[in-house]
């Protein structure tokens, strides 16, 4: 890359990340900057995850706190639904009054997940298209951050080859996060949310290990954040 740049080939301008260009290019710059000092793209991904988490912390904190408060007022909401079950307009008015009283946004709980989506796809594009991260090792069994993680144990596992240790850890962390996240009171939605870690684990089996590492570290940080929120909001 340095030789080609000296020859006048601006490869950084050739790479096109599509819609996620505005996030992907700064992310790549930050990864390369950290790698220059750390000499490990895996550690750089961890630090980038922490940086993004800190940047979005106030917004995600507000969303998580809103979900916890929503759980707290579920009994009041149930009473209103029962009281105004035949008057939808009045029910909506009373619900809005309840939300204003407790300063909650019923859609606020979606923010933490929504904020991750553009960063997730930007990092996906970076790992898929960037030459620097091809065959970039992290540690232990992860020798290529642009390839799926597999721990080979002497024999092939049908359909997988090796054990996707990092992916399984990511799924476990997501399951723990779901257990700590306040429910909406809807049993059907609660069951769907509990299945999400299983779905995501299967989805991530063939994703780049660098992407799985990002999601795993982000889950761990979210667990810590949710722990303190659960303690701060009175039941």
- Unique residue bearing structure tokens 């997988």: 160
Q: pLDDT tens digits for 183-205? A: 655 566 667 777 888 888 888 88
pLDDT(10) > 60: no
Q: pLDDT tens digits for 27-63? A: 888 888 888 898 888 899 899 889 888 887 777 777 7
Helix, strand, coil shares of the chain as percentages rounded to 5?
70, 0, 25
> Helix (H, G, I), strand (E, B), or coil: what is residue 163?
strand
Q: In Å, what is the CA distance from 179 to each residue of 7, 58, 107, 182, 194?
A: 55, 22, 19, 8, 8
Check if the beta carbon of residue 108 is closer than 8 Å to that of residue 66.
Answer: yes
Q: pLDDT tens digits for 102-160? A: 777 666 656 666 777 777 777 777 777 777 777 788 888 888 888 888 888 776 777 67
The token duo for 106 is 């019923």
User: Alpha-carbon distance 16 to 138, whole Å?
Assistant: 25
> Helix (H, G, I), strand (E, B), or coil: what is residue 183?
coil
User: Alpha-carbon distance 82 to 15, whole Å?
Assistant: 57
């Amino acid at each position: 890359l340095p030789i080609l740049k000296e020859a006048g080939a601006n490869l950084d301008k050739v790479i096109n990340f599509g819609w996620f260009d505005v996030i992907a290019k700064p992310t790549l710059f930050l990864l390369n900057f950290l790698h220059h000092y750390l000499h490990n793209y895996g550690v750089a991904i961890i630090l980038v995850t922490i940086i993004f988490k800190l940047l979005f912390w106030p917004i995600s904190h507000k969303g998580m706190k809103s979900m916890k408060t929503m759980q707290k007022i579920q009994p009041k909401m149930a009473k209103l639904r029962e009281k105004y079950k035949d008057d939808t307009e009045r029910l909506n008015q009373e619900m809005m009054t309840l939300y204003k009283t407790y300063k909650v946004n019923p859609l606020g709980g979606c923010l933490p997940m929504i904020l991750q989506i553009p960063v997730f796809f930007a990092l996906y594009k970076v790992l898929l298209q960037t030459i620097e991260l091809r065959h970039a090792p992290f540690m232990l069994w992860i020798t290529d951050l642009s390839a799926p993680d597999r721990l080979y144990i002497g024999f092939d596992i049908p359909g997988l080859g090796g054990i996707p240790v990092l992916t399984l850890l990511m799924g476990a962390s997501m399951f723990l996060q779901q257990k700590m996240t306040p429910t909406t009171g809807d049993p059907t939605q609660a069951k769907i949310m509990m299945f999400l870690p299983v779905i995501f684990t299967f989805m991530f089996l063939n994703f780049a290990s660098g992407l799985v590492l990002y999601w795993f570290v982000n889950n761990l940080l979210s667990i810590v954040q949710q722990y303190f929120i659960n303690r701060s909001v009175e039941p």
